Amino acid sequence: MAKKHDHPCAIAATLNVIGDRWTMLLIREAFYGTNRFGDFLKNTGISRNLLTERLNQLVEDGIFMRQPFADRGTSHVYELTEKGRALDAVFLAMSHWGNAHIYGEGNEPVRMIDDDTGLRVDGFDLVNSDGHPVNRSKITLELGPGGDGRTRNRLAAVRKFPFS
C-alpha cells in the first residue's frame, strides 16, 4: 500500500492496514470463508500481482495466517488471525452503512439475520468497559497514554462528537 500515515491516531493506524480499495474486500471474503489465492482473485476482481502484495502485507500485519496446502501446485491457505477476526466490527459497520445509505431499505443485496429471533441485524450499541450501554451523544475524547503534544493540541480544539 501507499505511504503510511504517521500521526498518533487509531483511525490513521487502522487506515495504514485496511485503508485502500481492496483490503476490506479481501477481509470480507475471508469472513465469507474464502481462503485460497485463486478464490480471492475470482471473487474480488483484484489483479494477481496486487493480490500477492496485499496478502503478503496482511500476513506481515498479522491479519492473515498463511499455511501450506497440498492440493495441486504451490498452494496455500489464508486464514484470519484473531486480530483479523477483530475487524468484524468494521465489517459490520460498513455493511450496515452500505445497506442503509447506498442501497437503502428494500434494496439490500445481502441481509444479516439474527438466528435467535429471525429479525434483521440492525445496528450497534456502544458499550463501556463494564459492558453497559453508552449514550452515543455523551462521549468525551481524552488524551491517552500514547498521545503526544500534537494529540493534546488536537483534542484541545474539540472534545465533543456529533454522534447521533
Partner DNA sequence: TCCTAATAGTTCTTTTTCTGAACTATTGAA
Partner DNA sequence: TTCAATAGTTCAGAAAAAGAACTATTAGGA
Measured from the Cβ of residue 38, the count of other Cβ atoms closer than 10 Å reads 11
Residues 79-98 close enough to bind its own copies by CB under 8 A: 80, 82-83, 85-98
Distance, CA of 109 to CA of 137 (rounded, Å)? 31
Residues 66-125 close enough to bind DNA by CB under 7 A: 66, 69-76
Tell me if 67 contacts its own copies by CB under 8 A.
Answer: no
Tell me if 120 contacts its own copies by CB under 8 A.
Answer: yes
Q: Are 5 and 12 in contact (CB under 8 A)?
A: yes
Q: Are 154 and 148 in contact (CB under 8 A)?
A: no
Query: Considering the complex, what minimum distance in angstroms separates the CB of residue 37 from DNA?
Result: 4
Burial letters 117-136, b for 16+ CB under 10 A, else e: eeeeeeeeeeeeeeeeeeee
Distance, CA of 134 to CA of 7 (rounded, Å)? 28
Residues 37-66 close enough to bind DNA by CB under 7 A: 37-39, 41, 45-50, 52-53, 55, 66
Q: Map residues 10-49 to x or -, x wherever contact with its own copies holds by CB under 8 A.
A: xxxxxxxxxxxx--xx--x--xxxx--------x-x----
Tell me if 9 contacts its own copies by CB under 8 A.
Answer: yes
- Distance between terminal CA atoms of the chain? 33
Tell me if 106 contacts its own copies by CB under 8 A.
Answer: yes
The residue with cell 459492558 is 131
Q: Which is nearer to DNA, 5 or 96 (CB)?
A: 5
Tell me if 70 contacts its own copies by CB under 8 A.
Answer: no
Q: Which is nearer to DNA, 73 or 118 (CB)?
A: 73
